[in-house]
Structure 1
Amino acid sequence: MAGLLLAAGSGSRLGTPKATVRLGGERLVDRGVRTLSDGGCAPIVVVTGAAPDLTVPGARRVHNPLWDTGMGSSLRAGLDAMPEGATATVVALVDQPFVTAPVVSRLLRAYADGASVAVAAYEGAPRNPVLIGREHWAAVGESAAGDVGARAFLRANPDLVTYVECGDLADPSDIDTVEDLARARAAVNLFD
């Protein structure tokens, strides 16, 4: 099962590309790759943009030249870069550092049990990461636009979605602002 980490944004509200931010001595991009890998994903593709020369050990880097148009183009670039043998991919976001490897593993188990689309939920609320079977990649790519990734596809196809409760495993909070980063740095030892 492949992993896809979306890490292209400039972090406009944060003031720096989120992929390069350090938390607990580790860049968010490295943390995201580790989470996907430890959760059972291989290979892993990382979509970059605002930091085009970003090196990403343990993953294949794909640069999205249209990164500034929003997450939709990065999702399309990542899905297009998936290896031919991949039957599904877990799509994760670089700015959710407290999503853990067991969340990824739980999504992979849902796929093994027959789900072709699995969405991590936290106390019943759908968030990320999201597992998408290859048979849906084209439709997901077509519906991804602007800052909307897979959400339009998921809403249009509720019968395909398996929600996987992960509130007992992780915190899906994201880092968008300097204040969010300060809170994450204060809490970094809670989930590591």
Structure 2
Amino acid sequence: MSLKLVGDDTGELRLAVPRSSDMQDLGGLVASHLHGGDVVLLSGPLGAGKTTLAQGLGKGLKVDGPVVSPTFTIARELHGSLADGRAVDLVHVDAYRLGGEGYEPGEDSVGRLLDELESLGLDEELEEPGQETVVLMEWGEQMASALADQRLEIIIDRPLEGEMDPDLPPTSRGQRLVTLRGVGSSWVSRLNSLRKVVQA
């Protein structure tokens, strides 16, 4: 694993991730620190590596099926296990199309997002995940305030390198900068543990 700590502020880690295999390894590392009831928000531009990280997380949880982009299904549920061996369901959600259009000025956007989640049967799962569930939500940053107050936010940034043409479609090549931000007291010790693993 070639992860490098490039920023270390209170409550967050910033990592340089040079290859897609390292992004998968990072997903596995995060999986090893998850507890039942956790909510993980995963964001970044198209081609940043969200699905690659999600695949590593799924592998780390030993899920019973492939982790693919849930774009066309909105949500998929896979069965796996936590690091301590307890069974867990991974609910993988793509929120890209949720709450994106048709807002009226002054409208309660959080309420509307929750209404959309309720119509999909996901509202209770996301607001209060059970101890046998881990929720991984891509494109979920716009509804962070509507989710549990204890969560891990993973932001993948893909800085353009000098020789890359920003008008060309993204590729899997190139270093990514990944920020892991713990929200809530339950993530303080776990981020410290992640930091030690990366520094080792």
TM-score strictly above 0.5: no
Whose RCO is larger (CA < 8 A, sep 6+)? 2
TM-score when normalising by structure 2: 0.29
**Larger radius of gyration between Structure 1 and Structure 2:** 2
TM-score when normalising by structure 1: 0.29
